[in-house]
């Protein structure tokens, strides 16, 4: 160990390019340090997502287990145990400070792969009490950055969707189901084109929100299936050079066991390394959910608009003051966070699609930015949905009086008269009522289309749903 004049303690590490000074307390090595020095872009802010690091911890342990089965003379029990323990510590969140690299690095994610290799090797050696692990020869055995990063991306994407996003949506669906039951029998005016339309029950309106989210869950489940095919075993260009026979099958099996998810090896590794179509497809399902959440949040804030000069058909929880100048003002802030997250996800979708289109020959080199945007979308949307559920949806209350008032003030109730006086005569009633600011009944009777008694017999808005 050495010490610079600025009192920073460091040690000397080396790689194929020579010696590098590395902070003494860090488990990373020379290649990580070179990347840290060469890419001062978003340092400490736009670091490689934790979801990707966790996925690397899983796949490195799985690779060690597979290598131990196939080539135990090279991947000895001692080495496998040390690697496994270090990877367990990664996945327990004990080593976050040792993964400093930013997203904006090499497009294959090579330096993050090496960051993991170096940390696992150095931590594994500390666990073993002797230097038995080499970052490349042992931790990266039978692997390449070109197949590990796509594998980590798929693992992170699947676990994020299955373990965070879908459960969050299910929780909101449950709240909406409760709201449906609570609001059965309440009839209100429907709206299309932001204009008055025929009646709808409030529970039917809520059921539309619920069904949209249930459909999104179906789409998300469909989208993760292709992601469960893993590139690991393809090594540098898809040929599997330097990986022993059956490594790809065995390592996928171990990843499946470690995650409790049915991962398998990709049938065609050339495709698995060079194409990101599965990720584009899956993020499309994430974007579909974002689009539905945008719609639901907008509906809620429109219905809650007011309290006196808007629609005011529902009330939502008042969580915080809404203005620094207007006393008593309260805003639909949970709806606003949902809509902001939704547009972020939509922007991420554009980034992912463009990045996926830029694969050249045997590799796509936009992997870190794809990983960054995908994991951000899943994380933000999961947290956004839970926040909206906890701080808004659970407190939605119908303003029955306002709904009744708007319903009976709607000119589109005239649609109920179509079978009795015809479309054109009904239109005349609506225009007369609007222009003279009178009721539909007064207009219809005044035009001589129905008597007062007959109008009362056939006009029942609550039955129009």
Catalytic residue numbers, as ranges: 193, 323
Q: 23 and 86 in contact (C-beta within 8 Å)?
A: no
388: exposed, middle or buried (Cβ count in 10 Å: 0-12, 13-18, 19+): buried
Which stretches within 183-201 are classed as H helix?
none
Q: 416 and 461 in contact (C-beta within 8 Å)?
A: yes
DSSP string, 220-244: HHHHHHHHTEE-TT-TTTSS-TTPP
How far apart CA 257 and CA 84 sit, in angstroms, is 14
What angle do helix axes 202-227 and 166-182 make, rounded to 10 degrees? Answer: 160
Comparing C-alpha atoms, which of 39, 165, 166 is closest to residue 112?
Answer: 39
Strands 187-192 and 195-201: antiparallel
Paired tokens of 70: 């196939």
For the beta carbon of residue 122, count every other beta carbon within 10 angstroms.
Answer: 22
How far apart CA 352 and CA 378 sit, in angstroms, is 13
Q: 182 and 397 in contact (C-beta within 8 Å)?
A: no
Q: 391 and 334 in contact (C-beta within 8 Å)?
A: yes
Q: Tokens 């939704």: give the residue.
A: 342
For the beta carbon of residue 403, count every other beta carbon within 10 angstroms.
Answer: 23
Dihedral (CA of 450, 453, 455, 458) sign = negative
Q: Coil, helix or strand for 42?
A: coil
How far apart CA 271 and CA 27 sit, in angstroms, is 34
- Detail the DSSP E strand segments found in 268-388: 314-315
Q: Coil, helix or strand for 407?
A: helix
How far apart CA 311 and CA 236 sit, in angstroms, is 60
DSSP state, 47?
A: B
Q: Coil, helix or strand for 25?
A: coil
DSSP string, 241-282: TTPPTTHHHHHHHHHHHHHTS--EE-S-HHHHHH--HHHHHH
């Amino acid at each position: 160990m050495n010490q610079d004049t600025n009192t920073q303690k460091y040690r000397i590490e080396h790689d194929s390019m020579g010696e590098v000074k590395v902070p003494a307390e860090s488990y990373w090595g020379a290649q990580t340090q070179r990347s840290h020095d060469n890419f001062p872009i978003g340092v400490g802010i736009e670091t490689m997502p934790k979801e990707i690091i966790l996925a690397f911890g899983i796949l490195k342990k799985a690779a060690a287990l597979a290598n131990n089965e196939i080539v135990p003379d090279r991947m000895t029990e001692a080495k496998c145990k040390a690697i496994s323990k270090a990877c367990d510590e990664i996945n327990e969140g004990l080593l976050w400070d040792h993964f400093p690299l930013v997203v904006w690095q090499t497009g294959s994610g090579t330096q993050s792969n090496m960051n993991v290799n170096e940390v696992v090797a150095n931590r594994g050696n500390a666990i073993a009490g002797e230097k038995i692990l080499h970052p490349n020869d042992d931790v990266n055995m039978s692997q390449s950055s070109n197949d590990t990063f796509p594998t980590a991306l798929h693992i992170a994407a699947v676990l994020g969707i299955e373990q965070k996003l879908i459960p969050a949506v299910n929780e909101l669906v449950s709240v909406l189901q409760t709201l449906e039951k609570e609001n059965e029998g309440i009839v209100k005016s429907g709206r299309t084109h932001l204009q008055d339309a025929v009646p709808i029950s409030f529970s039917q309106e809520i059921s539309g929100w619920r069904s949209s989210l249930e459909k999104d869950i179906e789409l998300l489940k469909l989208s993760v299936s292709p992601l469960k095919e893993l590139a690991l075993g393809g090594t540098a260009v898809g040929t599997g050079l330097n990986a022993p026979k059956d490594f790809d099958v065995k390592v996928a099996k171990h990843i499946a066991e470690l995650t409790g998810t049915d991962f398998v090896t990709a049938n065609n590794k050339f495709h698995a390394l060079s194409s990101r179509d599965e990720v584009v497809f899956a993020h499309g399902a994430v974007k579909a959910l974002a689009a539905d959440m945008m719609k639901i949040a907008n509906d809620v804030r429109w219905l809650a608009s007011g309290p006196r000069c808007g629609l005011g058909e529902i009330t939502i929880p008042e969580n915080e003051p809404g203005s620094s100048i207007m006393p008593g003002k309260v805003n639909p802030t949970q709806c606003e966070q949902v809509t902001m997250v939704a547009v972020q996800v939509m922007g991420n979708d554009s980034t992912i699609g463009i990045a996926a289109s830029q694969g050249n020959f045997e590799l796509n080199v936009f992997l870190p930015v794809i990983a960054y945007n995908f994991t951000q979308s899943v994380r933000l949307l999961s947290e956004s949905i839970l926040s909206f559920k906890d701080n808004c949806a659970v407190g939605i209350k119908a303003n029955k009086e306002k709904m009744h008032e708007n319903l009976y003030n709607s000119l589109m109730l005239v649609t109920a008269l179509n079978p009795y006086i015809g479309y054109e005569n009904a239109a005349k009633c609506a225009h007369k009522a609007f222009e003279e600011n009178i009721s539909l009944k007064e207009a219809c009777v005044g035009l001589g289309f129905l008597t007062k008694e007959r109008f009362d017999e056939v006009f029942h808005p609550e039955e129009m749903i």
